[in-house]
Amino acid sequence: MARFSQILLQSWVSGVARGSMGSAHFMIIVIHFIWIGIRSDGPFPTVFISYRVYIGIGVAMIIKEAIRDIIHNLEKMERDIDERTLDNFIEILTSAANVFVLGLGRSGLVARAFAMRLMHLEINAFVVGETITPAINEGDVLIAISGSGRTSYIVNAASIARERGAKVVAVTSYPDSDLAGLADLTVTIKGRTKIDGEKDYMKRQMRGNHHSRTPLGTLFEISALVFLDGIIAELMERFDKREEDLHHRHSSFD
């Protein structure tokens, strides 16, 4: 079977080189390898990847394509965010008595990374959901990070923050979402989220749509992290802080 597969692959490669490989030939190859995947002891993706590497479709190509997608989204974010939004965000942060950050899943990791840097800058920062997080009150601000802007826990938290007199900043891909509707300021960061995309396979094929190399909320989460690190850079400049100053506030246990 392995020898037959090798011959089949070689005929496909030579056919491509001559420009003589028809659709019927291609379908025979596809069906053959699907059959191998079903019959093999290992998972089909493993079998497929081994043959993909054999015919010269390198792993590096897919990795680089994903990196290019991420870079493209970051460049678009940098162009799209207006200075008024940035100024308002900085003003809200620097005038708040306490800064509360909130996100779930990978967005929650972004929120924690931002809170860590705020702490390094001697800003009172708390992560919503931790046991040591105090009550939010008037004069405080909640930074809520949600790609879809409709995650129920985050929307409810934003509603509570407003009821208690605190300001709300929404970081989301959807400026018309429930979360944005509760916010005093919305930072719109475009990027695919978990709710994006056509789920029907045939419709995707008819429209020429293909699965992204950056699944679910990857683009939003990475872009949000980079944006918030940019905010930290601006705060360092305003507070006249250097890296050495932040290091003095870094955890002693790392």
Could you list the pLDDT tens digit for every one of the 254 residues in the chain?
A: 545 445 545 554 455 445 555 555 555 555 555 555 545 555 545 545 555 554 445 667 778 888 888 888 889 888 988 899 999 999 999 999 999 999 999 999 999 999 999 989 999 999 999 999 999 999 999 999 999 999 999 999 999 999 999 999 999 999 999 999 999 999 999 876 554 554 454 454 445 444 566 556 788 999 999 999 999 999 989 978 787 767 777 776 76
What is the set of active-site residues? Answer: 221
As to burial, measured by CB atoms within 10 angstroms (0-12 exposed, 13-18 middle, 19+ buried), residue 93 is buried
**pTM of the entire predicted model:** 0.70
| Alpha-carbon span 129 to 125, nearest angstrom | 13
User: What angle, rounded to 10 degrees, do the helices at 83-95 and 218-239 form?
Assistant: 60
- Quick one: tokens of 105? 């899943």
Residue 146 lies in a domain: yes
Do 131 and 172 lie in one domain? The reply is yes
**Boundary residue ending a domain (57, 81, 96):** 57
Of 57, 77, 104, the last residue of a domain is 57
Evaluate whether residue 254 is within a structural domain.
no
